[in-house]
Amino acid sequence: MYTINLAEKLSRFSAHWTPHVVAELNGQMVKLAKIKGTFDWHHHEQEDELFLVLRGRFRLEFRDHAEEVHEGELVVVPRGVEHRPVAEEECHILLFEPAGTRNTGNLVNERTRDQLERL
């Protein structure tokens, strides 16, 4: 029941592709991440995933098209749909997804973050 300032939370970390948890409700988590570069193609078997851009912009690639997502815009990726975020410049995003969602979805590799830090 206390106010969470997203910019202040974002100032506490700098690593790219490393979601940090800032809130949890109804079995879902609110995560913040800084992204830059090209992520891996992946999907989430059971989880829909929301991306909201807080600063900058990125391109969310699907197999059949891509979406440019700017500050103040969001996209929902339904479960099962392959996607790949690409950010030419650093971009700050808010993620909303079930608590157990793995950042790399069906993949486990050097970018997998199964233990998320809480801010």
Q: Which residues bind a second copy (CB under 8 A)?
A: 1-7, 22-26, 28, 30, 47-50, 54, 62, 65, 67-70, 72-78, 81, 96-98
What is the rounded CA–CA span in Å between residue 69 and residue 91? 10
C-beta of 24 vs 117, nearer to a second copy: 24
Least distance to a second copy from the beta carbon of 110, Å? 27
Q: What angle do CA 17, 64, 89 make, to 5 degrees?
A: 30
Identify the CA nearest to 106 among candidates 74, 84, 76, 75. Answer: 84
Phi, psi values for residue 7, rounded to 5°: -65, -40
The residue (of 6 and 116) whose beta carbon lies closer to a second copy is 6
Q: Residue 22 or 35: which CB sits closer to a second copy?
A: 22
